[in-house]
Amino acid sequence: MSALPDGTRAADYACLREVDRAGLMWEWLRRDPDYISWYGKASTATRGARQPPSRWSLLFRENPDRIAPKALIVWRADIDPGTLRVIAAPTRSRDPDGLPLHSLRRWISLVPGMDGREHAVLSDGLHHLRLDVEQGTLAGGPVVLHYLLHGTRDARPKLRTLRRLTAISLERRFTPSLFPADPRQDHWLWALRVGDALREGASQREIAEILYGPARTRGEWQGHSDSLRSRVRRLVGEARRLASGDYRKLMRPE
């Protein structure tokens, strides 16, 4: 496996500054020793048969060498609450309500499911939209989509996916205003850096030096205030929880 960052350089995480939570979750999974071992030992023919990707909440086996912006990430619908269930009905090529598949091919990846359904993700590398095709296919000719929605709380994240999908279909781009920056992105990246530093054997004081600099750490680590030590302890605790599987909760509504 290619070398992972060790947490010491913020620049190593710059490529993740705009990646969404689906991508952040992948960054935690691709660091999981069990996933790395499974992927490395299983042959292409048997990978997914003895231990299917669903064990890892995935619908597609992806190489842990690939960073989030370059990975094909297809999370299960129970992990991604924004997954939109659709029926793809064939239509005429000039249907104004048809999905412009020819224009969206560069962003669409399709994964056949064990249940015969088709799972799709639209991604520009930073943002991910998930569709579950209950009937029909996105692999053929022109289609018009029928959206399967119910309830209120359950529909909310799916309606956001629908708004984004509609904009992509009409504008042929991932509209920036529909993908606002995550206000907690810096926090998630710090947690990832802490996790990487822990994996390399760093102590809590060394982690403080990585994040806050040696000068500040020298001045505050043994000072009267416990503020810096407490902050690092909280980050360490969160990083350990995320690494142990809590990363699967990152897309849940907050």
pLDDT score, position 2: 57
Choosing from 163, 178, 193, the residue where a domain stops is 178
Same domain (yes/no): 105, 137: yes
**CA-CA distances (angstroms) from residue 108 to 12, 25, 74, 135, 149?**
28, 20, 11, 17, 22
Confidence of residue 179 (pLDDT cuts 50, 70, 90): very high
Q: Are residues 41 and 69 in the same domain?
A: yes
- How does residue 190 score in pLDDT terms, banded at 50, 70 and 90? very high
Whether residue 50 has pLDDT greater than 50: no
pLDDT at 74 over 50: yes
- How many residues are there in the chain? 254
How far, in Å, CA of 30 to CA of 13, rounded?
Answer: 15
Residue 51's pLDDT is 54
Alpha carbon 183 to chain centroid distance? Answer: 16
**How far is Cα of residue 249 from the mean position of the Cα atoms in its chain?**
11
SS3 for 127-195 is CEEEEEEEECCCCCCCEEEEEECCCCCCHHHHHHHHHHHHHHHHHCCCCHHHCCCCCCHHHHHHHHHHH
Does residue 61 form part of some domain? yes
What DSSP string describes 83-129?
PEEEEEEE--TT-TTSB-HHHHTTTEEEEE-TTS-EEEEEESSS-EE
Please report whether residue 44 resides in a domain: yes
Tell me, what's the pLDDT at 1? Answer: 45
Residue 118 shares a structural domain with residue 216: no
Give me the pLDDT at residue 42, please.
Answer: 66
If asked whether residues 201 and 128 sit together in one domain, one would say no
CB contact set of 154 (below 8 Å; sequence gap of 6+): 81
Structural domain includes residue 20 = yes
Residue 126 has pLDDT above 80, yes or no: yes
Same domain? 167 vs 54: yes
Q: Which amino acid does the sequence have at 80?
A: D
pLDDT above 90 for 128: yes
Same domain, residue pair 133 and 191: no
- The arrangement of strands across the sheet holding 128-135 comes to 108-112, 118-123, 128-135, 84-90, 143-148
118 domain residue, yes or no: yes
Question: pTM of the prediction?
Answer: 0.92
Identity of the residue numbered 99: L
Same domain for 126 and 50: yes
Provide the Cα torsion 227, 232, 238, 243; round to 10°.
Answer: 180
Amino acid 43: pLDDT: 53
Domain boundary among 145, 163, 178: 178
Q: Is 58 helix (H, G, I), strand (E, B) or coil?
A: strand
Q: Is residue 5 part of a domain?
A: no
Is the pLDDT score of 48 beyond 50?
A: no
Residues of the domain holding 99: 10-178
Q: 107 and 84: one domain? A: yes
Instruction: Write down the pLDDT at residue 52.
Output: 64
Pair (130, 191) in one structural domain: no
Say whether pLDDT at 111 is over 80: yes
Residue 112 domain-assigned (yes or no)? yes
Dihedral of alpha carbons 96, 101, 106, 107, sign? positive
If you average pLDDT over every residue of the chain, what do you get? 92
Higher pLDDT, 154 or 3: 154
Residue 1 within any structural domain of the chain: no
The verdict on residue 254 lying in a domain is: no
pLDDT of residue 114 exceeding 80, the answer is no
Are residues 139 and 44 both part of a single domain? yes
- The total number of structural domains in the chain stands at 2
Please say which residue of 157, 178, 199 terminates a domain: 178
